[in-house]
Structure 1
Amino acid sequence: MSSGSRSGAFCPRCGDEIERPPEVDLPGGPRDPDAVLCDGCYFDSFDLVDAPERIEIRVCSQCGALHRGNRWIDVGARDYTDVAVEETAERLAVHVDARDVEWSVDPEQVDENTIRMHCLFGGRVRDTGLSEAVTVPVYIARETCDRCGRIAGDYYASIVQVRGTDRTPTPAENDRAVEIAESYIADREATGDRNAFITETTRTDDGVDMKISTNQMGQGIAKRIVAELGGAVSEAPTLVTEDSDGNEVYRVTFTVRLPPYTPGDVIDLDDGDGPVVVTSAHGNLKGLRLASGKRYEADFEEGIAPDARKLGERSDAEATTLVAVEDAHAVQVLDPDTFESKTVPRPNYLDPDAESVPVLKHREGLHVLPEEGSDDDGPPR
Structure 2
Amino acid sequence: MSDTESREFCPRCGDPVPTRTEPLPGEPRDRDRRLCDACYFEDFDLVDAPERIEVLVCSGCGAVHRGNRWVDVDARDYTDVAVDETREALGIHVGARNVTWAVDPEQVDENTIRMHCQFTGVVRETPLEESVVVPVKISRGTCDRCGRIAGGYYASTVQVRATDRTPTAEERSRAVEIAESHVADKEGDGDREAFVSEVKETDDGPNVKLSTNGLGEEVSRRIVRELGGSVESYPTLVTEDGDGNEVYRVTYAVRLPKFTPGDVIAPDDDAGPVLVRSVSGNLKGIRLATGEPYEASFDDEELAARRLATREDAVETTVVAVEDAHAVQVLDPETYEAKTIPRPDFFDADAETVPVVKTRAGLHALPD
TM-score by length of 2: 0.89
Separation in 2, partners of 1:345, 1:127: 94
Query: What's the CA shift for 1:300?
Result: 6.6
Query: What's the CA shift for 1:184?
Result: 1.2
Separation in 1, partners of 2:188, 2:221: 20
Any idea what SS the aligned residue of 1:155 has?
A: coil
Q: In the alignment, does 2:110 pair up with 1:115? A: no
The answer to whether the 8 Å contact 2:318/2:354 transfers is yes
Separation in 2, partners of 1:122, 1:47: 12
Name the residue aligned to 2:201: 203
The answer to whether the 8 Å contact 1:24/1:31 transfers is no
Name the residue aligned to 1:106: 104
The answer to whether the 8 Å contact 2:283/2:298 transfers is no
Amino acid across the alignment from 1:324: A
Describe how 1:173-212 pairs up with structure 2 within 5 A: 173-212=171-210
Residues 329 and 90 (structure 1), Cα distance of their counterparts in 2 relative to 1, 3 Å cut: same
Name the residue aligned to 1:267: 265
Query: What's the CA shift for 1:269?
Result: 2.5
Name the residue aligned to 2:132: 134
Residues 306 and 82 (structure 1), Cα distance of their counterparts in 2 relative to 1, 3 Å cut: same
The answer to whether the 8 Å contact 1:323/1:334 transfers is yes
Q: In the alignment, does 2:336 pair up with 1:329? A: no
Any idea what SS the aligned residue of 2:328 has?
A: strand
Any idea what SS the aligned residue of 2:181 has?
A: helix
Query: What's the CA shift for 1:90?
Result: 2.2
Query: What's the CA shift for 1:115?
Result: 1.6
Q: In the alignment, does 2:20 pair up with 1:18? A: no
Residues 126 and 293 (structure 1), Cα distance of their counterparts in 2 relative to 1, 3 Å cut: closer
Describe how 1:205-220 pairs up with structure 2 within 5 A: 205-220=203-218
Separation in 1, partners of 2:49, 2:70: 25
The answer to whether the 8 Å contact 1:333/1:343 transfers is yes
Name the residue aligned to 2:313: 316
Amino acid across the alignment from 1:320: T
Query: What's the CA shift for 1:21?
Result: 4.7
The answer to whether the 8 Å contact 1:8/1:17 transfers is no
Residue in structure 1 matching 2:343, options 343, 346, 352: 346
Any idea what SS the aligned residue of 1:208 has?
A: strand
Separation in 2, partners of 1:325, 1:103: 83
Name the residue aligned to 1:363: 360
Query: What's the CA shift for 1:24?
Result: 9.9
Any idea what SS the aligned residue of 1:271 has?
A: coil
Amino acid across the alignment from 2:331: L
Query: What's the CA shift for 1:338?
Result: 2.3
Separation in 2, partners of 1:31, 1:348: 88
Residues 314 and 17 (structure 1), Cα distance of their counterparts in 2 relative to 1, 3 Å cut: same
Any idea what SS the aligned residue of 1:22 has?
A: coil
Separation in 2, partners of 1:288, 1:37: 91
The answer to whether the 8 Å contact 1:117/1:135 transfers is yes
Separation in 1, partners of 2:231, 2:57: 39
Residues 363 and 50 (structure 1), Cα distance of their counterparts in 2 relative to 1, 3 Å cut: same
* Bigger mean CA deviation after superposition, 94-103 or 360-369: 94-103
The answer to whether the 8 Å contact 2:63/2:72 transfers is yes
Deviations 1:332-370 (A, max 9, x none): 101112222112222222111111000012233211111
Q: What is the percent sequence identity of the aligned residues?
A: 63
Query: What's the CA shift for 1:75?
Result: 1.8
Any idea what SS the aligned residue of 2:341 has?
A: strand
- Structure 2: gaps (5+ residues): none
Deviations 1:153-192 (A, max 9, x none): 1111110011011111011111111111112112222221
Deviations 1:272-324 (A, max 9, x none): 22211111212332222222222222357427x92222111011111111101
Name the residue aligned to 2:231: 233
Any idea what SS the aligned residue of 1:193 has?
A: coil
Query: What's the CA shift for 1:255?
Result: 0.9
Amino acid across the alignment from 1:331: V
Report how many aligned residue pairs link the two structures: 363
